[in-house]
Chain A
Amino acid sequence: EIVMTQSPATLSLSPGERVTLSCRASQSVSSNLAWYQQKPGQAPKLLIYGASTRATGIPARFSGRGSGTEFTLTISTLQSEDFGVYYCQQYNYWPPETFGQGTKVEIK
Chain B
Amino acid sequence: QVQLVQSGPEVKNPGASVKVSCKTSGYRFNSYGITWVRQAPGQGLEWMGWISPYIGDTKYSQKFQGRLTMTTDTSTSTAYLELRSLEFDDTAIYYCSRDRAPTDYWGQGTLVTVST
Interface size on B, residues (CB 8 A): 25
Would you call B21 an interface residue if the criterion is a C-beta within 8 Å of the partner chain's C-beta atoms? no
From known contacts A43-B95, A43-B107, infer whether A98 and B47 are also in contact, taking CB-CB under 8 Å. Answer: yes
Pick from A43, A50, A87: contact of B44, CB under 8 Å = A87
Pick from B44, B49, B102: contact of A34, CB under 8 Å = B102
CB 8 Å contact bits of B34-51 with A (1 = contact, 0 = none): 010100000011111110
Contact present for B101 and A89 (CB under 8 Å): yes
How many A-B contacts are there with CB distance less than 8 Å? 64
Candidate in B63, B101, B103 with the most chain A CB atoms within 10 angstroms: B101
Chain B residues within 8 Å of A, Cβ to Cβ: 35, 37, 44-50, 59-63, 95, 97, 100-104, 106-109
A12 CB, nearest partner CB in chain B, Å: 18
12 residue pairs of the A-B complex, CB under 8 angstroms, read: A34-B101, A43-B106, A49-B102, A55-B104, A85-B44, A91-B101, A91-B102, A95-B50, A96-B48, A97-B47, A99-B44, A101-B44
Pick from B44, B48, B49, B103: contact of A102, CB under 8 Å = B44
Chain A residues within 8 Å of B, Cβ to Cβ: 1, 34, 36, 38, 43-46, 49-50, 55-56, 85, 87, 89, 91, 94-102
A79 CB, nearest partner CB in chain B, Å: 20
CB nearest to B49 among chain A residues:
A95
